[in-house]
């Protein structure tokens, strides 16, 4: 089987099994590359223990499986360094729903009250909303956002989920 015949989900699952540091290229073109250890893969979302420069763990990042373009092993010193960190080996939180967007948002907000959500395809540039999840339904997210000047919006803003 060639790499073009291997599904995106299968590539991510193989990376999760290997516990190797990977670099994940995603679409659209303006999407940031995600570096880290794949810790779980669902039908819609994959969960990455994100690493920053030097191989330090920087929290969890969820990416859409369908947006994955390439998964490449990172054989630099950063992988060897990450294995020396107290967080090694990174694991996925129990019972996190990676099959639905609403389930993912509910689960991630239970792990950390402050979440950042990037809207990469909706606009020509990348936008992020940062705040506390107020409510999640099957089709809507209600987020009480923190403004760039570190003040809170008085009411939650609603965002339609895709």
Question: Residue 126: its pLDDT value, please?
Answer: 54
What's the CA gap between 22 and 8, in Å, rounded? Answer: 14
Q: At a CB cut-off of 8 Å and minimum separation 6, what does 143 contact?
A: 115, 117, 129, 131, 132, 133, 134, 156, 157, 159
User: Mind listing the domains of the chain with CATH numbers?
Assistant: 1-96 (2.30.30.100), 100-162 (no CATH)
Helix or strand run (H / E) with residue 14: helix 8-18
Question: Residue 120: its pLDDT value, please?
Answer: 61
In the numeric block, the tokens 């895709």 are attached to 162
Question: Residue 5: its pLDDT value, please?
Answer: 47
In the chain, DSSP finds a helix count (H) and a strand count (E) of: 3, 9
Q: How far apart are the first and last CA of the chain?
A: 32
pLDDT tens digits for range 64-84? 999 999 999 998 899 899 999
Question: Residue 73: its pLDDT value, please?
Answer: 93
- 3-state DSSP assignment of residue 101: helix
What's the CA gap between 42 and 36, in Å, rounded? Answer: 17
Question: Residue 2: its pLDDT value, please?
Answer: 43
Q: Is the pTM of this model over 0.75?
A: yes
Could you say which residues of the chain have pLDDT below 50?
A: 1-3, 5
Dig out the tokens for 114 from the structure: 């402050």
Question: Residue 143: its pLDDT value, please?
Answer: 93
What's the CA gap between 1 and 13, in Å, rounded? Answer: 16
């Amino acid at each position: 089987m060639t790499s073009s015949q291997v599904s995106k989900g299968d590539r991510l699952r193989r990376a999760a099994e290997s516990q190797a540091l990977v670099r994940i290229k995603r679409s659209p073109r303006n999407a940031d590359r995600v570096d880290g250890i794949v810790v779980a893969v669902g039908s819609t979302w994959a969960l990455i223990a994100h690493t920053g420069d030097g191989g330090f763990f920087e929290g969890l990042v969820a990416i859409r499986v369908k947006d994955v373009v390439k998964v490449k092993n990172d054989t630099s010193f950063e992988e060897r360094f990450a294995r020396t960190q107290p967080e090694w080996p990174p694991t996925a939180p129990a019972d996190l729903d990676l099959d639905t967007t609403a389930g993912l948002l509910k689960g991630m907000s239970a792990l950390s009250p402050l979440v950042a959500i990037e809207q990469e395809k909706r606009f020509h540039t990348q936008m992020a909303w940062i705040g506390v999840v107020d409510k999640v339904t099957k089709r809507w997210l209600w987020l009480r956002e923190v403004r760039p000047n570190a003040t809170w919006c008085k009411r939650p803003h609603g965002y339609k989920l895709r």
